[in-house]
């Protein structure tokens, strides 16, 4: 078949890119127990540099963009972010030995977006000379925030249901005159657990004044178990997500791109180093992915399977919806690829702390292991070249 | 009025520069409680890169400069550095609730120079295409060191006078047979306080061998209070100031610019990254300024008022004296602006530790809060565009 | 003499290079007790950047190189690496007051290679427009690893001989009925010492399973002193050396250069910053050299003498063998210089930890002091310009 062979050729040629070479190099280096490391401060600064560059170019583009064009892709980004969590809830969570809260948190992380993967996608697109709307990068928060909010809300609803169940059984037991000495201790356990994560928030005062979000899914109810108090306030989750270092850097870049005239500093500083810094970031991510393999092994093969399939599946949803936008509003082939890449990526920097605070009972080894050790490498090494090839084969973008 | 309207237009156009955009962006980011941070090691390295670049270009310029031209501006720089401290001594120190030693230290910090502000001034000048003598940057130490020395000497003289006062009253009290049990304890307090800061010096051995500088204004006298021992050795203050990281980097750059041929590495490395690194530094300074606002609030509104007015006032003195040099020796308009900017700036990196060691009894919240939270942002966002506009309006430098 | 005067002129002109200026600047800064420092994370990252750049360019070159050409220089590199250790064993170790194990370790460090010195050599060559085979940088491990392996093996053989001697004497003493109460304690001391260094290895499990390398030269024998068990496994030393951060970065760059197509990221990122980053590294090395002078003073003047002569001597051996390769296989003048520079350099980053683990009884002050405080500055400031001048005078390479 002509289409398939053309697609395969395009796909394979992308695998030789230096960006992916550094990723694989990082894995090999880690596998060989090398003592080579990139200092943490350098790593953080590189991430900052990449995201502010992506933000700046997006902001500069938005200045001249027709904002109406952004509406459909942004809506699709929101839909994908929410869907990904529900997919995890009704696939991964159903598998044997997988705890529902862990599955929801994993879905949240895979729905959230990785700035590094986005940056790698942009680099490969540019390497292929494929045009894309620079504001596509601004789709990031439209997928990232809904995914994290959905995950935390879903987890809270699930935990609430569990508790009501328990409370009902307990009430029945009490009415039957059974011994219930265990109950107060358990409730005390809830309360003390709930106290821990809220300390991790930068501005917990306001939130605890609101009273209904104290400690995510685990808390708030107290011994009496009042289900009405279980409502999750959504604004604190959004705020927490926006305050994360990755989204902050991206939005700062966007704002500076829109409101100041950073073109000279962008051209002389942020843009030229982009590819190089990205290659170093890829190295770190490769090393990190290898280091996290052990954690993934602890939580079992279902997570590994999910982490292999999910980026491809989510990317295909992104590609499909992006293709609709391509037909309806003329969304560029490169933009479709970036929407797919954003969908395929899973958050590795800012997502985990938000989830740790929002779903304190979920096991971080499960979601961070799946995302960092498998999901991100798959998104980088398989999905990006795959969707670029697919775009070229279907829309002739290159 | 034609002059005023032209000036206002020029002033406002400067406010849109990306450099200032990053400064304001940093403040907004901090105000919104973002978790975005620039690692400290990166911050320190950026400061080093900027100052060595400024030094290198100054050194390369001095190689070919007519040194006689530098004399008048350098003399003016010394005069400004000394005057600023006296101004603080006889204005800020007279305000109600302001301690004299705190006011002197604040004056010292505002007389000292900020390398970052100087770098920002150079960038904006270059962005406007205004010519300046590259050796102008070498005026830095001519203002920085006299200001710090003056502050420490003034503080010492003041503390000595206080102590003689006390000693005299005490002697009178003893001769009248009054109870003086509190006195030895207080003197002991002095001695132990004096021991702490001298440990902060890198080479305290030499200094304590000299015996007369042990611990700045607080020490040396002992319980008996011998006023003759109060003389402050000036060389250790100068040495300590020169050993600070900011002046060291600047002077290293100057020396390398004068004695080696760094032109190739300057053109290929230090110069191209200058604007970009500066923009990141501005971001950090904006975040830092916001974080220090709380400290400023502790010491009260008089410091805030001083910190708003002082940069403008000092800058105007610099502009006036620079203008004289412009007429007398043909000092360029850009050079006049840089002299004003150096005068308007207040030290944020190397000044504070020198003052902490030299005036150990002054409250760091007062002087660091005033300088970092208000003085530096005013110097950057108001004074630089103001004096560029003023130079263009009066000398037609653009 | 025409040759000598031409050579001296060439030599002196190289001394004014900015690279050496930064080295001397660093020493002066440190000598003046400046508080200027380059953060450690920045230093490590700069070393990484330089070595991966050197590796990448080597790898790109090897892709198109005739590998047969590399054979003779690589063989010579191995010979030099091994010879240097034997030279130290039979010169430095014979001097009064010098312990044999310390001398062997010092020889190992001077036989090993410094990536920074190699990078400086490349920069100066390029500044002179002298051609060299880019794969010359790949000679690094061919000298580095044999030197470290030889040093550890020689030290082990020496320690084993010492112990057999002791054992023999002891056995004689026992047969004569003498008291030998001290012996078990000493043996216990060996065993406990042997346990410490093996903990420093990243993967000690495999090695301790092998049983014969537990703790380098000090251990393995136990109280009974079985000489057969003294064999040193060579593979763990090689592996440990390859896992060091410097060789890892270089080999990673080589592999990426050979197997991926990093030309675009190399041209846009790794190559342009090379000279600038190197100048900062030189600054750090100058500061470090000054700081280590004290350590060198502790171990005495023979080490200082060795550290002055050895780089020149080893460089001359390198030059001689390189010259043979020049005549036999057409090895370029620049390549001959790089072989000399590699020979003249002594390891400052990855060598020391390997030696500390492999020869735990040698005194680190001796070998690190000699190398960092004297050997490296001599290699940089004397040997590089010397051998460039020599190459130009003998082979007309410029």
C-alpha dihedral sign at B127, B128, B134, B137: negative
Q: Is the pLDDT of residue A240 over 70?
A: yes
* Helices A115-127 and A333-344, packing angle to 10 deg: 150
C-alpha dihedral sign at A285, A286, A291, A297: positive
Distances (CA, A) of A57 to A54, A134, A345, B127, C264: 5, 6, 20, 21, 21
Local structure of residue C244 (DSSP, 8 states): S
Whether C169 contacts chain A with CB within 8 A: no
Q: For testing the chain C interface, which of A276, A278, A290 should be mutated: the one with the most C CBs within 10 Å?
A: A276
Distance from CA of B320 to the nearest CA of C (A): 34
Q: Is the pLDDT of residue A163 over 70?
A: yes
Give me the pLDDT at residue C232, please: 65
Question: For the segment A194-231, what is each residue's pLDDT rounded down to a tens digit?
Answer: 333 333 333 333 333 333 333 344 433 333 444 444 56
* Residues of B in Cβ contact (< 8 Å) with C273: 269
Which region among A37-41, A102-106, B79-83, B358-362 has the lowest average model confidence (pLDDT)? B358-362
pTM over 0.90: no
Give me the pLDDT at residue B55, please: 86
Contact A34 C268 (CB under 8 A): no
Element of type H or E holding C243:
helix C234-243
Whether B34 contacts chain A with CB within 8 A: yes
* Residues of B in Cβ contact (< 8 Å) with C287: none
Read off the pLDDT of each residue in A147-174 and give the average, rounded to a whole number.
85
Whether C42 contacts chain B with CB within 8 A: yes
Contact C243 A32 (CB under 8 A): yes
Closest CA to A295 of A378, A373, A369: A369
In this complex, which of B35, B276, B283 lies closest to A245 when CB atoms are compared? Answer: B35
* Residues of A in Cβ contact (< 8 Å) with C249: 36
Q: How many CB atoms lie within 10 A of CB B273?
A: 19
Distance from CA of B16 to the nearest CA of A (A): 6
Contact C42 A42 (CB under 8 A): yes
Contact B272 A268 (CB under 8 A): yes
Distances (CA, A) of B134 to A65, A97, B345, C258, C397: 41, 70, 18, 45, 38
Contact C245 A34 (CB under 8 A): yes
Contact B284, B114 (CB under 8 A): no
Closest CA to A36 of C248, C240, C350, C236: C248
Whether C277 contacts chain B with CB within 8 A: yes
B213 — pLDDT class (breaks 50, 70, 90): very low
- Owner of token pair 């105007």: B316
Q: A381 by DSSP, 3-state: which?
A: helix
- Owner of token pair 């002739």: A396
Distance from CA of C267 to the nearest CA of A (A): 10
Contact B127 A264 (CB under 8 A): yes
Whole-number Å distance between alpha carbons of B175 and B183:
15
Which region among A343-357, B175-189, B259-273 has the lowest average model confidence (pLDDT)? B175-189
Contact A276 C269 (CB under 8 A): yes
Give me the pLDDT at residue C163, please: 82
Contact B248, B220 (CB under 8 A): no
Distance from CA of B92 to the nearest CA of A (A): 36
- Owner of token pair 């501006």: B73
Chain C CA closest to residue A36: C245
Give me the pLDDT at residue B231, please: 61
User: Which residues of C, range 183-202, sit inside 8 Å of A by Cβ?
Assistant: 202
Token pair listed for B231: 């003389």
Give me the pLDDT at residue B246, please: 81
Q: For testing the chain A interface, which of C205, C246, C265 should be mutated: the one with the most A CBs within 10 Å?
A: C265
Chain mean position to CA A217 = 20
Q: B212 by DSSP, 3-state: which?
A: coil
* Residues of C in Cβ contact (< 8 Å) with B256: 18, 21-22, 25
Whether B90 contacts chain C with CB within 8 A: no
Mean of the per-residue pLDDT values of chain C: 81
* Residues of B in Cβ contact (< 8 Å) with A252: 25, 29, 36, 283
Contact A280, A22 (CB under 8 A): yes
Q: For testing the chain B interface, which of A252, A264, A272 should be mutated: the one with the most B CBs within 10 Å?
A: A252
Contact B213, B236 (CB under 8 A): yes
Local structure of residue B214 (DSSP, 8 states): T
Give me the pLDDT at residue A57, please: 85
* Cβ-based contacts under 8 A for chains A and B: 76
User: Comparing B174 with B346, which gets the higher pLDDT?
Assistant: B346
Which region among A354-358, B273-277, C15-19, C141-145 has the lowest average model confidence (pLDDT)? C15-19
Distance from CA of C62 to the nearest CA of B (A): 27
Distances (CA, A) of B354 to B77, B239, B361, C300: 20, 10, 13, 38
Contact C392, C398 (CB under 8 A): yes
Give me the pLDDT at residue B64, please: 77
Mean of the per-residue pLDDT values of chain B: 81
Give me the pLDDT at residue C202, please: 37
Q: C268 by DSSP, 3-state: which?
A: helix
Local structure of residue B224 (DSSP, 8 states): T
Neighbours of chain B (3+ CB pairs under 8 A): A, C
* Residues of B in Cβ contact (< 8 Å) with C50: none
Give me the pLDDT at residue C10, please: 60
Contact A19, A279 (CB under 8 A): yes
Give me the pLDDT at residue C217, please: 42
Distance from CA of A245 to the nearest CA of B (A): 4
User: Comparing B30 with C205, which gets the higher pLDDT?
Assistant: B30
Q: How many CB atoms lie within 10 A of CB C213?
A: 24
Whether C271 contacts chain A with CB within 8 A: no
Question: For the segment C174-206, what is each residue's pLDDT rounded down to a tens digit?
Answer: 776 654 444 443 333 333 333 333 333 333 333
Chain B CA closest to residue A251: B29
User: Comparing B134 with C200, which gets the higher pLDDT?
Assistant: B134
Full set of structural domains in chain C with CATH = 17-167+232-395 (1.20.1530.20)
* Residues of C in Cβ contact (< 8 Å) with B351: none
Q: Is the pLDDT of residue A333 over 60?
A: yes
Whole-number Å distance between alpha carbons of C381 and C365:
23
Distance from CA of B246 to the nearest CA of C (A): 7
In this complex, which of C39, C248, C264 lies closest to A35 when CB atoms are compared? Answer: C248
In this complex, which of B21, B32, B42 lies closest to A260 when CB atoms are compared? Answer: B21
Chain A CA closest to residue C255: A25
Whole-number Å distance between alpha carbons of B194 and B202:
16
* Residues of C in Cβ contact (< 8 Å) with B39: 41
Give me the pLDDT at residue C51, please: 85
Contact C18 B264 (CB under 8 A): yes
ipTM: 0.75
Contact C41 A39 (CB under 8 A): yes
Distance from CA of C265 to the nearest CA of A (A): 6
Q: For testing the chain A interface, which of B20, B29, B34, B124 should be mutated: the one with the most A CBs within 10 Å?
A: B34
Chain C CA closest to residue B250: C36
User: Which residues of A, range 211-250, sit inside 8 Å of B by Cβ?
Assistant: 242-245, 248-249
Distance from CA of C287 to the nearest CA of B (A): 13
Neighbours of chain C (3+ CB pairs under 8 A): A, B
Closest CA to A228 of A164, A292, A279, A291: A164
Token pair listed for B170: 């005490």
Contact B60, B266 (CB under 8 A): yes
The stretches in chain C having pLDDT less than 70 are 1-4, 6-16, 176-232, 397-398
Distance from CA of C228 to the nearest CA of A (A): 31
Whether C331 contacts chain B with CB within 8 A: no
Local structure of residue C212 (DSSP, 8 states): S
């Amino acid at each position: 078949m002509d289409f398939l062979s053309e697609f395969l050729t395009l796909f394979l040629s992308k695998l030789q890119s230096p960006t992916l070479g550094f990723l694989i190099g990082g894995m090999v280096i880690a596998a060989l127990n090398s003592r080579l490391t990139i200092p943490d401060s350098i790593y953080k600064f590189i991430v900052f540099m990449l995201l502010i560059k992506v933000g700046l170019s997006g902001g500069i583009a938005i200045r001249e963009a027709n904002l109406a064009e952004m509406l459909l892709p942004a809506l699709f980004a929101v839909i994908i972010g929410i869907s990904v969590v529900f997919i995890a809830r009704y696939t991964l969570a159903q598998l044997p030995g997988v705890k529902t809260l862990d599955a929801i948190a994993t879905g949240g992380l895979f729905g959230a977006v990785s700035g590094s993967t986005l940056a790698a996608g942009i680099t490969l697109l540019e390497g292929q000379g494929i045009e894309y709307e620079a504001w596509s990068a601004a789709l990031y928060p439209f997928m990232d925030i809904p995914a994290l909010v959905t995950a935390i809300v879903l987890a809270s609803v699930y935990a609430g249901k569990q508790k009501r169940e328990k409370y009902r059984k307990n009430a029945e037991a009490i009415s039957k005159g059974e011994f219930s000495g265990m109950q107060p201790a358990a409730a005390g356990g809830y309360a003390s657990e709930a106290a821990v994560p809220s300390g991790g928030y930068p501005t917990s005062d306001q939130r605890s004044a609101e009273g209904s979000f104290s400690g995510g899914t685990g808390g708030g109810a107290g011994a009496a178990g009042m289900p009405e108090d279980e409502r999750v306030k959504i604004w604190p989750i959004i705020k927490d997500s926006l305050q994360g270092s990755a989204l902050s850097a991206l939005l700062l870049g966007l704002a500076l791109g829109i409101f100041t005239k950073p073109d000279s500093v962008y051209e002389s500083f942020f843009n030229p180093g982009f590819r190089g810094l990205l290659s170093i970031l890829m190295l770190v991510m490769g090393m990190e992915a290898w280091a996290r393999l052990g954690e993934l092994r602890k939580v079992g093969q279902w997570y590994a399977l999910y982490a292999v399939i999910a980026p491809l599946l989510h990317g295909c949803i992104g590609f499909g919806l992006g293709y609709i936008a391509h037909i309806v509003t003329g969304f560029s082939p490169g933009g479709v690829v970036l929407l797919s890449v954003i969908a395929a990526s899973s958050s590795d920097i800012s997502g985990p702390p938000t989830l740790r605070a929002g779903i304190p009972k979920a096991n971080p080894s499960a979601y961070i292991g799946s995302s960092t050790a498998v999901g991100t490498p798959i998104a980088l090494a398989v999905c990006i070249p795959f969707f670029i090839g697919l775009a070229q084969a279907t829309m002739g973008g290159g």
